[in-house]
Chain A
Amino acid sequence: MAFEGLADRLQNTIQKIRGKGKVNEADVKEMMREVRLALLEADVNFKVVKEFVKKVSERAVGQEVMKSLTPGQQVIKVVKEELTALMGGEESKIAVASRPPTVIMMVGLQGAGKTTTTGKLANLLRKKYNRNPMLVAADIYRPAAIKQLETLGKQLSMPVFSLGDQVSPVEIAKQAIAKAKEEHHDYVLIDTAGRLHVDEALMGELKDIKELTKPDEIFLVVDAMTGQDAVNVAQSFNEQLGLTGVVLTKLDGDTRGGAALSIRSVTQTPIKFVGLGEKMDAIESFHPERMASRILGMGDVLTLIEKAQANVDEEKAKELEKKMRTASFTFDDFLEQLGQVRNMGPLDELLKMMPGANKIKGLNNLQIDEKQISHVEAIIKSMTKEEKTHPEIITANRRKRIAKGSGTSVPEVNRLLKQFEDMKKMMKQMSNMQQKGKKKGGLKLPFNPFQ
């Protein structure tokens, strides 16, 4: 996940000040020197760093912190608030035109990920907002760019408007909107060619498209790995076109994400979405506060809960909870639960949203091998019905058969059986605790997203 390097450095710095009963100016100065370096190393624009350090320092040595009982905690709170403010404060929404279609123009440098993002965004509009978008292939310069959008459209079963690469992008945009009205599409996403912000001719073309289509949103697509130049690019596009939002891509890499922290504060343009992978559903709304929380190692439980709610069937979860309580949990249930968790996304990403998870030794560089989970699934699927409900009947011979059937080894089967046994024991203990707890006023299961 992006930001990790930055998060590590900031958290180490913060650790030093957290428990302090007294914080003086020298402490703050020392800390801010570290913060400054951490931000610079993360590609945050140097002007933004300067401003940020100044603001935090002022507030940190001010009354609100020095007078408090836990000044160390207060300093961290100030850092978090300013970090959130830097990234834009509130989550921002996508526009809806009063008279459809809503027109969205995608612009940016070459290779930022405009075409992929156009596909993802359309997919999100349909899945999350129940919209009926149309894609427009207006990149007539890069070889096969139109083909790329058409392929994505096919994958998503979504219409793509194209007139080939011999018609001007302005004309394509014009005809596309007429067509969208005719076919009652409520969103039109125009994928434009990548261009340098200093290329006057091509920037002029974008201005023409804007003039003609009167877009409700102009999104600048920015590669999250961009260095100090990110703000210049954003500023230049903003001055020439008037951006309404930024989409940051490739945030699933290990970039420290300085661009994310700089762009908003320099251009006053909010970051609206982030791209987190190559698949068509790897896009999320951008939440500044949650991001700040993640950077400072406070976890992102909200996103985790949202993911759980979107992917876990509530009825089934309740049933599962009951089974856990009565300890009648079987391998079938286990399989089902595994499937639901997997639907939420890569496990290592999920783990990193847990508060304090990055402080657990070894977890930081953990790459959970999704293959291993497939092995577990294969083992369970190689069991008979009876074995799944009554694992105690699994003898040595049966273990051999299961290992063979699942293409794994006997030790692997043994390990899973042992783990399952331990899990059941733990559930029993927990439900006992809960029963006792209920009499004394309720103690809940440690993790249940619906409570």
Chain B
Amino acid sequence: MSFFKRLKEKITKQTDTVTEKFKDGLTKTRDNFSSKVNDLVARYRKVDEDFFEELEEILIQADVGFDTVMELIDELKMEVKRKNIQDPAEVQGVISEKLVEIYNSGNEASSELNIQETGLTVILFVGVNGVGKTTTIGKLAHKFKSEGKKVVLAAGDTFRAGAIEQLEVWGERVGVDVIKQDAGSDPAAVMFDAIQAAKSRNTDILLCDTAGRLQNKVNLMKELEKVKRVIEREIPGAPHEVLLVLDATTGQNAMIQAKTFKEATNVSGIVLTKLDGTAKGGIVLAIRNELHIPVKFVGLGEKMDDLQEFDAEQYVYGLFADLVEKEELEEQ
């Protein structure tokens, strides 16, 4: 049985709404990607340089990382040469096989959150400006609250105008406490306060917001390191998760973001936001392949419950659904 069929069977067994949400959210990515591959295969009679160049463009267009694309194309060329493939239709199978291979080559880091059985779990959120850190925190707070956990938010973005107020609005909406200081104060001091408050209030989960910063600003990255150090000092083993929030519409720069933030704060997972609005999200492949950071959540809409736990298999299936169906048709 082919990889896809196994995947499909596994997923169709999970007959819940989550799969539907994933499929809907990824419709644009899928339509763009697999229909283009299908179209490419249909148009070419022979596998040649032009064929590969177009394939390259399709992958680049999906924002799959540049290096990953180059690697993939090279491998494909070799495979085609080795098996002496002439017919584009035959290449199609190899393409999906290789993509899945790339996806699986990222080590099997769990996409589950590291939540402490007892005591406080601290989650630190980092990322560049405007990716949706505060919104993600709001949504996650809602999720944890509805699971019956006691949540506290730390307003660590003391720089951007209105950021503290934004988190406070989320706090009110969800019904959780927000620990804050005045705008312009030291974010590390806010974290210190928040940890003391969380401890004394018997909190299960502390979600720490930070100001957005571009990864090439050395001083701001150092500030972030300090924030993390303060948390580490107050609670051994914390922060239990450092989540990098990435905007799915970001291009190749997402790779650099992931790399630099990982160096500074040892990122343990990724939240990919705004995946519903984009035709892309191909960067997930590259990040997994090159940086080995698991994606833990994806944002598929603006509603409070539109933050979904990331399921790698569902993602791959969502991406290749058309290819799978085609494969089945051909077999019949």
Instruction: Report whether chain A binds chain B.
Output: yes
- Name A residues whose Cβ lies closer than 8 Å to a Cβ of B: 40-43, 46, 109-113, 115-116, 142-152, 155, 196-198, 223, 225-230, 232-233, 250, 252-256, 258-259, 278, 367
Q: How far is the CB of A400 from chain B (nearest CB, A)?
A: 30
- Name B residues whose Cβ lies closer than 8 Å to a Cβ of A: 56-57, 60-63, 66, 128-132, 138, 159-163, 165-166, 168-170, 173, 183, 214-218, 247, 249-254, 256, 274, 276-280, 283
A227→B283 contact, CB < 8 A: yes
| Distance of A278 Cα from B283 Cα, bound (Å) | 27
| Distance of A305 Cα from B203 Cα, bound (Å) | 57
Q: How far is the CB of A200 from chain B (nearest CB, A)?
A: 13
Cβ–Cβ < 8 Å partners of A112 in chain B: 130
| Distance of A152 Cα from B66 Cα, bound (Å) | 38
B216→A254 contact, CB < 8 A: yes
Contact of A227 among B128, B130, B162, B251 (CB under 8 A): B251
| Distance of A229 Cα from B248 Cα, bound (Å) | 10
Contact of A225 among B128, B169, B274, B280 (CB under 8 A): B128
Question: Chain B contact residues: over half helix, strand or loop, or mixed?
Answer: loop
Cβ–Cβ < 8 Å partners of A254 in chain B: 214-216, 253, 256
Cβ–Cβ < 8 Å partners of A148 in chain B: 160-163, 165-166
Apart from A225-B253, A254-B214, what are 16 other A-B pairs with CB-CB below 8 Å? Answer: A40-B66, A113-B129, A144-B163, A144-B168, A145-B162, A151-B162, A151-B183, A155-B161, A225-B128, A227-B280, A228-B61, A250-B130, A253-B128, A254-B216, A278-B129, A278-B159
Contact of B166 among A113, A144, A227, A256 (CB under 8 A): A144
Interface centre among B166, B168, B253 (most CB of A within 10 A): B253
A226→B249 contact, CB < 8 A: yes
Q: How far is the CB of B77 from chain A (nearest CB, A)?
A: 15
B161→A229 contact, CB < 8 A: no
| Distance of A251 Cα from B61 Cα, bound (Å) | 22
| Distance of A225 Cα from B280 Cα, bound (Å) | 14
Contact of A41 among B57, B62, B66, B130 (CB under 8 A): B66
Cβ–Cβ < 8 Å partners of B277 in chain A: 109, 196-198
A229→B249 contact, CB < 8 A: yes
What would be 11 A-B contacts, judged by CB atoms less than 8 Å apart? A40-B60, A40-B66, A110-B130, A111-B130, A113-B130, A146-B162, A227-B254, A250-B214, A252-B214, A252-B216, A258-B252
Q: How far is the CB of B159 from chain A (nearest CB, A)?
A: 7
| Distance of A226 Cα from B216 Cα, bound (Å) | 17
Cβ–Cβ < 8 Å partners of A258 in chain B: 251-252
B252→A256 contact, CB < 8 A: yes
A144→B252 contact, CB < 8 A: no
| Distance of A225 Cα from B298 Cα, bound (Å) | 19
Closest-by-CB residue of A relative to B62 is: A228
Q: How far is the CB of A8 from chain B (nearest CB, A)?
A: 14
Given A226-B249, A254-B215, A144 and B128 contact (CB-CB distance below 8 Å): no
Interface centre among A43, A111, A148, A151 (most CB of B within 10 A): A111
Cβ–Cβ < 8 Å partners of B161 in chain A: 115, 147-149, 151-152, 155
Interface centre among A43, A149, A196, A225 (most CB of B within 10 A): A225
| Distance of A225 Cα from B215 Cα, bound (Å) | 12
B249→A227 contact, CB < 8 A: yes
B170→A253 contact, CB < 8 A: no
Given A196-B276, A226-B249, A46 and B162 contact (CB-CB distance below 8 Å): no
Cβ–Cβ < 8 Å partners of A113 in chain B: 129-130
Q: How far is the CB of B58 from chain A (nearest CB, A)?
A: 9
Given A148-B161, A196-B277, A228-B280, A143 and B130 contact (CB-CB distance below 8 Å): no
Closest-by-CB residue of B relative to A196 is: B277
A147→B165 contact, CB < 8 A: yes
B249→A43 contact, CB < 8 A: no
Q: How far is the CB of B56 from chain A (nearest CB, A)?
A: 8
B130→A46 contact, CB < 8 A: no
Cβ–Cβ < 8 Å partners of B218 in chain A: 367
